[in-house]
Amino acid sequence: MRIIDMFSYAFSAIRLRKLRAGLTTLGVVIGIAAIVALLSITQGLQTAISSQLQRGFATDTLIVSAGGGLGGGNEFNLLVKDAQTIRELENVTASIAVIQRICYVKSSGLTRRVTVIGVDFVAYRDIYSSTFVAEDGEIPLNPEEDAVIVGKQVSDPWNNGTLFCTTGDTLEIIWTNTTARPLRNETYTGRVVAVLREVGGFTVGGPSDSRVYIPISKAQSFFGTETCELIIVKLKSDDKAMIDSTAKAIREALGSGVTVTSSTAVLNIISNVFSTIELFLAGIAAISLLVAGIGIMNIMIVSVMERTREIGILKALGMKNRQVLLIFLCEAAIIGFLGTLIGIGAGWSLAQIVVRIFGSSSGAGGLRQAGQAVVSNGTTITPVLTPTVILGAIVFGLAVTMLFALYPAWIAAKLKPVEALRYE
Amino acid sequence: MAKTIIKTVDLRKTYMQGKIPVEALRSVNLEVEEGEFLSILGPSGSGKSTLLNLIGALDKPTGGRLFIENIDVSTLNDNQLADLRMKIGFVFQFFNLIPRFTAKENVELPMAIAGLSKGVRGKRAEELLEMVGLASRMNHKPTELSGGEQQRVAIARALANNPRFLLMDEPTGNIDSKNAFEIMQLVKKLNEEKGVTIIMVTHDQRLAAEARRTVHMLDGMIVSETVN
Ligand SMILES: Nc1ncnc2c1ncn2[C@@H]1O[C@H](COP(=O)(O)OP(=O)(O)OP(=O)(O)O)[C@@H](O)[C@H]1O
Ligand SMILES: [Mg+2]
């Protein structure tokens, strides 16, 4: 029997039970749609985040922090002057200390809670030359002690042109000194010299839209500290061997209390986390496809029983066992293929709808807590449907339907002609 | 002397009804020559259908030998049996047409199974339906045809792959007498004009007499033979 005739025979059988075939197909549609929607959203999220990360990260930098990992700290204190020690190491072109405190800033009667960063403006701009850029005003080469640079979101928090503060404004900075007894609010008045261009996305150590920057010397005196939270180290290049050897040198110079993190390592960790999440979600979605597969098996067993006599006729007319098997597999293939195609379309539409509903602003917000130094801003997610996902869905959808159809088809193939013909 | 196309030697078939063996065929010896029109007559339960199913390779004997064109059927595997069935035309009491197919599609089916192209089998199906007198009803489904018409479709279908012989199990058992007569005329014409070898099972004396030779069965054995 020709393949085309097998398919047309299978198709005629499907057409006979439209509702049943439709419902069976629906199972496949739902399973595939779930997989495609989840994969295209997570991949979209991943693309969005990694593109933001690429922007916010300088791959030739190392982040030095105290204790166990990013932002953590125990007994060991990282000192501002450690930056000097690091600067003298081989392959290091710049090394700057970052002091970081939660403060309140007050401008024209309004108060906002922000993270204030004490940093050497010029060195910082050299490292993050594409993101630490003034949109308004100018980053001073020799900043006054009261100079303040604000992120875009601090200046324009409502994103509608109603500014909280802008270049030339004075900004009262209030910090609660928790080591003083009784607690005391320290206050000084700064002057906004520049508003940063919008950065967006995440960063480790790099500039962010929601922060306020003051000179490192002012931070030291105002917060009354010699310690810093991070030291950002810029290397000659992002060569892997150089990153590793310098990281080792830093650990040797400062002792085992420091953690040296390379930006690429952070990128890798984040992308690993995403792969895991993606796999997990796809796994859950795959279960729904398995359920659909069981549905197919169930329906097909019923169908084989109903059509026992028909199978007997086919065999009496000379059809071989293998051909009977193939006819039933063809039926499953038609349902599987149709269901998969519709499922891909449905999943893609679902992804678009989900992204619209949950919107751009909150999309990546869940990662806000991912690390003290990792910051998220509005990240727009566009679902991504790669050819790999499409092909994978087709292969997987077909494979599952065929696999579950195999047993019923085998039952059909094994029927004895006389017995099948006698079946009422 | 025409050549023998079917030969059974001590053919036996025992069914197990639960634990009780039922001997449906007990040593059947029969020879059928090419071009013959043979009827098998016997009361209900005498083993006529059992014998026909064995000759049609739809079932396997429990003992004895069955030769079709000198090939020992018991040595064939499932695939070879399927190939053999393709060369045997079977006509059933209950027609056994595929309800969702039209008359023409039903006649095309065995040719599709044999791997003929759509064009070839369509043309042949039309010729066959014309021959059985259904030229005007080719695109009707079985439910839109009378019993007699359905059996004609079944006969056309049985002839589709130019079978070695035609096996008919009570072909008029489900048809009123007027139509039954017409079917018998058609069967006789096939035998006389086209030289088709025919074995027909019936329990009706008068129908059996239409054949040139009749074997009488009783309790799973051939008890006598008459030439009409
Ligand atoms: N599948 C089966 N299992 C058990 N016994 C069977 C089976 N098929 C047939 N028999 C028995 O074998 C014997 C012969 O049956 P068979 O159908 O060949 O008779 P028949 O001559 O065709 O009868 P009828 O004229 O009623 O069709 C009967 O006793 C029947 O009960
Ligand atoms: Mg019978």
Q: Do B100 and A418 touch (CB under 8 A)?
A: no
Are B127 and B116 contacting, i.e. CB atoms less than 8 angstroms apart? no
Tell me: the pLDDT tens digits for A271-314?
A: 788 888 888 888 888 888 888 899 999 999 999 999 999 999 99
| DSSP tag of A140 | -
As a whole number of angstroms, the distance between CA A366 and CA A376 comes to 9
| Mean pLDDT, residues A415-420 | 95
Tell me: the pLDDT tens digits for A109-147?
A: 889 999 999 999 998 988 888 888 899 898 998 888 899
As a whole number of angstroms, the distance between CA A45 and CA A376 comes to 13
Are B140 and B102 contacting, i.e. CB atoms less than 8 angstroms apart? yes
User: For strand A92-107 and strand A170-177, is the pairing parallel, antiparallel, or unpaired?
Assistant: antiparallel
What pTM value is reported for the model?
0.76
Are B7 and B202 contacting, i.e. CB atoms less than 8 angstroms apart? no
As a whole number of angstroms, the distance between CA B62 and CA B8 comes to 13
Whole-Å CA distances, B176 to A271, B146, B201, B209: 79, 10, 17, 18
As a whole number of angstroms, the distance between CA B210 and CA A56 comes to 98
Give the three-class secondary structure for A1: coil
User: Would you state the structure tokens that stand for residue A215, as one six-digit string?
Assistant: 């000179």
Q: 10 Å Cβ neighbour count for A18?
A: 9
As a whole number of angstroms, the distance between CA A168 and CA A174 comes to 19
Q: Do B96 and A320 touch (CB under 8 A)?
A: no
Work out the angle at residue A415's Cα, subtended by the Cα atoms of residues A412 and A421, and round it to the nearest 5 degrees: 110
Chain B residues inside the 8 Å CB shell of A320: 78-79, 82-83
H helix and E strand count, chain A: 12, 10
Q: How confident is the model at residue B8 (pLDDT cuts 50, 70, 90)?
A: very high
How many residue pairs bridge chain A and chain B with CB atoms within 8 Å of each other?
Answer: 68
In angstroms, what separates the C-alpha of B87 from chain A's closest C-alpha? 8
C-alpha closest to that of A9 among B111, B181, B7 = B111
CA A406, A409, A411, A414 torsion: positive or negative?
Answer: negative
**A interface toward B at CB cutoff 8 Å?**
1-2, 5, 9, 12-13, 15-16, 309-310, 312-323, 416-418, 421
Residue of the CA atom closest to atom 18 of ligand 1: B47
Are A81 and A147 contacting, i.e. CB atoms less than 8 angstroms apart? no
Residue in B85, B86, B100 nearest the CB of A12: B100
Q: Do B100 and A315 touch (CB under 8 A)?
A: no
User: Would you state the structure tokens that stand for residue B174, as one six-digit string?
Assistant: 């489900």
Flag whether pLDDT at B79 surpasses 50. Answer: yes
Residue in A1, A309, A421 nearest the CB of B112: A1
Q: What residues of chain B, 180 to 199, have a C-beta less than 8 Å from chain A?
A: none
As a whole number of angstroms, the distance between CA A378 and CA A110 comes to 23
Least CA distance to B97: which residue of chain A? A313
User: Would you state the structure tokens that stand for residue A245, as one six-digit string?
Assistant: 């050897």
Residue in B56, B79, B96 nearest the CB of A313: B96
Work out the angle at residue B113's Cα, subtended by the Cα atoms of residues B107 and B119, and round it to the nearest 5 degrees: 60
Query: Could you tell me if B76 lies within 8 Å of chain A, comparing CB atoms?
Result: no
As a whole number of angstroms, the distance between CA B127 and CA B138 comes to 10
Chain A residues inside the 8 Å CB shell of B110: 317-318
Are B38 and B55 contacting, i.e. CB atoms less than 8 angstroms apart? no
Flag whether pLDDT at B10 surpasses 90. Answer: yes
User: Would you state the structure tokens that stand for residue B153, as one six-digit string?
Assistant: 């479709």
The most distant pair of C-alpha atoms in chain B lies apart, rounded to whole Å, by: 52
Pocket perturbation via mutation, ligand 1, pick of B12, B15, B201, B215 by most ligand atoms within 8 A of CB: B15
User: Would you state the structure tokens that stand for residue A358, as one six-digit string?
Assistant: 């949950």
Least CA distance to B113: which residue of chain A? A1
B138 versus A366: the higher-pLDDT residue is B138
The most distant pair of C-alpha atoms in chain A lies apart, rounded to whole Å, by: 101
- Phi first, then psi, for residue A228 (nearest 5°) are -135, 165
As a whole number of angstroms, the distance between CA B128 and CA B142 comes to 16
Chain B residues inside the 8 Å CB shell of A418: 53, 58-59
Q: What is the CA radius of gyration of chain B?
A: 17
What pLDDT sits at residue A26?
94
| Mean pLDDT, residues B79-93 | 95
Work out the angle at residue B121's Cα, subtended by the Cα atoms of residues B119 and B122, and round it to the nearest 5 degrees: 65
Selected for mutation to probe chain A from B51, B109, B118, B164 (highest A CB count within 10 Å) is B109
Residue of the CA atom closest to atom 1 of ligand 1: B15
What pLDDT sits at residue A54?
65
Q: What is the CA radius of gyration of chain A?
A: 32
Least CA distance to A310: which residue of chain B? B98
What is chain A's mean pLDDT, rounded? 86
Chain A residues inside the 8 Å CB shell of B78: 320-321
Q: Which residues line ligand 1 (CB under 6 A)?
A: B 15, 17, 22, 24, 42, 44-50, 203
Which amino acid, residue A383?
Answer: P
C-alpha closest to that of B186 among B130, B140, B224, B103 = B130
Whole-Å CA distances, A178 to A250, A342, A392, B162: 31, 61, 56, 103
| Mean pLDDT, residues B182-189 | 93
Flag whether pLDDT at A216 surpasses 90. Answer: yes
| Mean pLDDT, residues B124-133 | 96
Residue in B82, B92, B118 nearest the CB of A319: B82
Tell me: the pLDDT tens digits for B30-42?
A: 999 999 999 999 9
Flag whether pLDDT at B81 surpasses 90. Answer: yes
What pLDDT sits at residue A405?
96
Compute the CA torsion angle A57, A61, A66, A72 (nearest 10 deg). Answer: 10
| Mean pLDDT, residues A192-210 | 81
C-alpha closest to that of B146 among B182, B184, B110 = B182
Q: Where are the alpha helices (H) located in B36-77, listed in sequence order? A: 48-55
Tell me: the pLDDT tens digits for B104-118?
A: 999 999 999 999 999
**Would you list the DSSP string of A277-308?**
HHHHHHHHHHHHHHHHHHHHHHHHHHHHHHTH
Q: How confident is the model at residue A74 (pLDDT cuts 50, 70, 90)?
A: low
Q: Do A418 and B53 touch (CB under 8 A)?
A: yes
Q: What residues of chain B, 102 to 131, have a C-beta less than 8 Å from chain A?
A: 109-110, 112-115, 117-118
Q: What are the residues whose beta carbons fall under 8 Å from the beta carbon of A267, sequence distance 6 or more?
A: A50, A53, A57, A59
What pLDDT sits at residue A377?
44
Q: Which helix (H) or strand (E) holds B217?
A: strand B213-218
Residue tagged 């996305």 (tokens): A201
Helices B147-159, B177-193: axis angle to 10 degrees equals 20
Work out the angle at residue B59's Cα, subtended by the Cα atoms of residues B57 and B64, and round it to the nearest 5 degrees: 85
Exposure string (b/e) for A52-77, b if CB count within 10 Å is 16 or more? bbebbbbebbbbbbbbeebbebeebe
Flag whether pLDDT at A169 surpasses 50. Answer: yes
Tell me: the pLDDT tens digits for A228-260?
A: 988 999 888 878 888 889 988 998 888 878 888
What pLDDT sits at residue A201?
62
Query: Could you tell me if B95 lies within 8 Å of chain A, comparing CB atoms?
Result: no
**Would you list the DSSP string of A212-280?**
EEEEHHHHHHHHT-SB-SEEEEEES---HHHHHHHHHHHHHHH-TTEEEEEHHHHHHHHHHHHHHHHHH
Residue in B83, B101, B112 nearest the CB of A5: B112
| Mean pLDDT, residues B62-91 | 95
Least confident among A199-208, A400-409, B42-51: A199-208
Selected for mutation to probe chain B from A9, A317, A324, A421 (highest B CB count within 10 Å) is A317
Q: Do B86 and A317 touch (CB under 8 A)?
A: yes
Give the three-class secondary structure for B48: helix
Chain A residues inside the 8 Å CB shell of B164: none
Residue A103 pairs in a beta bridge with: A114
**What ligand 1 atom has the least distance to the C-alpha of B53?**
18
- Beta strands (DSSP E) in A164-229 are 170-177, 184-196, 211-215
Q: How confident is the model at residue B1 (pLDDT cuts 50, 70, 90)?
A: low
Q: In what order do the strands lie in the sheet with B71-72?
A: B20-33, B4-17, B63-68, B71-72
Compute the CA torsion angle B117, B119, B125, B131 (nearest 10 deg). Answer: -130
CA A243, A248, A251, A252 torsion: positive or negative?
Answer: negative
Q: What are the residues whose beta carbons fall under 8 Å from the beta carbon of B208, sequence distance 6 or more?
A: B39, B40, B41, B200, B202, B214
What pLDDT sits at residue A109?
83
As a whole number of angstroms, the distance between CA B226 and CA B212 comes to 9
